[in-house]
Amino acid sequence: MKYFKKKDKYQDYLIILFLLIIFFLTSSAAARETNGVYWTDLDGSRPWRIILKPDETYIVCLKAEVPFDKVLNAYSFVLTYDPSVISIISVEKPDDSAFPPMNINSSIQGSIIFNAFNTKGLQGYAVISLLNITIKGKTGGSFNFDIKVNDFGAGSSDQFKPEPDNLSIFVSLDDVKVIPGDINHDGFVDLVDLILAARIMSAVIPERTIYKQADVNLDFKIGIQEMIYILKYISEHIPGDVNGDKILDLKDMILVLQVLCSKNTDQKVFKEADVNKDGKIGIEEAVYILMQF
């Protein structure tokens, strides 16, 4: 019989992995491109998904970066959204913009078109505030607030179009419960969240949705406290450890079988031991535990 308690060793492995992630992603951050166009909140933080309720309003700001060795003379963008999920309350030029749009057209539902031209231009490196958009939730649904860059440069022969970071909008008819540490909001606190936290700390644009609401110290930021919390959480939640005693053994198998047979038990069942991320304890957990012996 093979026991899986080795808690200290398990934590040591996670710490090593944690350090490797930081090293790798810090190196990646130093080499990444600075030329991007992205969404922010009014406070400047960058949400990757926004959850609204019907009739709830929210202001998102669109910003773009001009590279160090470039001069921006003109830009043209098209933003697309799902008008059945949200409505656009207002589209405004930011007061602090060094290069605001000259023309804005939001009359056609589902798109916002805007552009600007300046013969003097704007020398990089610079971050331009492009638009402040107030949105309002309508019916339940989700979509990506897509950014299409038609023109961004000194001329047709000198284009340096920024890489778009599209924003995910979700209008929920139900209350959404966010688990502390579950940064990508998939219902689990795992290595994916640890990697995302490391990427945020390293200033690397994450590939998956980030929820500031998943922070663990109520500062609405993802930082070192979240990484420590996630690391500890993972070390204390072993896949298949259904009874939560930090040991993978026949007791877990018996408890899984009791759950499968719908047999009443006074023992607590830890759903965090789920091995296939379906949020349930079932046959997959029994097979997983069996394979460990």
Q: Could you tell me the pLDDT band of residue 12, with boundaries at 50, 70 and 90? A: low
Domains of the chain listed by start with CATH number: 7-31+177-236 (no CATH), 36-171 (2.60.40.680), 250-291 (no CATH)
Structure confidence at residue 7 (pLDDT): 46
Max mean pLDDT range (17-26, 52-61, 220-229, 242-251): 52-61
For 96, the token pair is: 């602090």
* pLDDT attached to residue 101: 97
Q: Which of 199, 31, 69, 40 is nearest to 128 (CA)?
A: 40
Q: What is the average pLDDT across 35-47?
A: 84
Q: Cβ(85)–Cβ(141) under 8 Å?
A: yes
pLDDT, one tens digit per residue, over 170-201 is 888 776 667 888 887 777 788 888 888 887 77
* Residue 271: CB atoms within 10 Å: 14
Q: What is the DSSP letter of 218?
A: S
Q: Is 7 or 256 the better-scoring residue by pLDDT?
A: 256
| Average pLDDT estimate for 106-126 | 95
Percentage, residues of the chain above pLDDT 70: 80
**In 166-279, where does DSSP find H-type helix?**
191-201, 224-236, 250-260
Q: Cα–Cα distance between 276 and 265 in angstroms, integer?
A: 23
The DSSP-derived string for 39-89 is: EE-TTS---SEEEE-TT-EEEEEEEEEE-TT-EEEEEEEEEE--TTTEEEE
Mean pLDDT within 137-149? 92
Radius of gyration of the chain (CA): 24
Tell me, what's the pLDDT at 4? 46
160, pLDDT greater than 90: yes
Q: Name 163's bridge partners.
A: 36
pLDDT, average across residues 113-122: 96
Q: Residue 135 pairs with which residues in a beta bridge?
A: 58, 88
The model's confidence at residue 11, banded by pLDDT at 50, 70 and 90, is: low
Any idea which residue has 């097979």 for tokens?
287
Cβ pair 168, 144 in contact under 8 A: yes
> How would residue 89 be classed by pLDDT, with cut points 50, 70 and 90?
very high
Do 202 and 194 meet the contact criterion of CB atoms below 8 Å apart? no
Q: Which residues pair with 127 in a beta bridge?
A: 65
Question: Which one, of 58, 151, 146, lies nearest residue 101 by Cα?
Answer: 151
CA distance 265 to 273: 17
pLDDT attached to residue 24: 56
Parallel/antiparallel/unpaired status of strands 158-159 and 141-155: antiparallel
Task: Kindly report the backbone phi and psi dihedral angles of residue 250, in degrees, each rounded to the nearest multiple of 5, phi listed first.
Answer: -65, -25
User: What does the pLDDT look like over 239-265, one tens digit per residue?
Assistant: 778 877 777 788 888 888 887 777 666
Q: Chain-wide mean pLDDT for the chain?
A: 81
The pLDDT value given to residue 203: 66
Mean pLDDT along residues 98-103: 96
The predicted structure's pLDDT at residue 14: 62
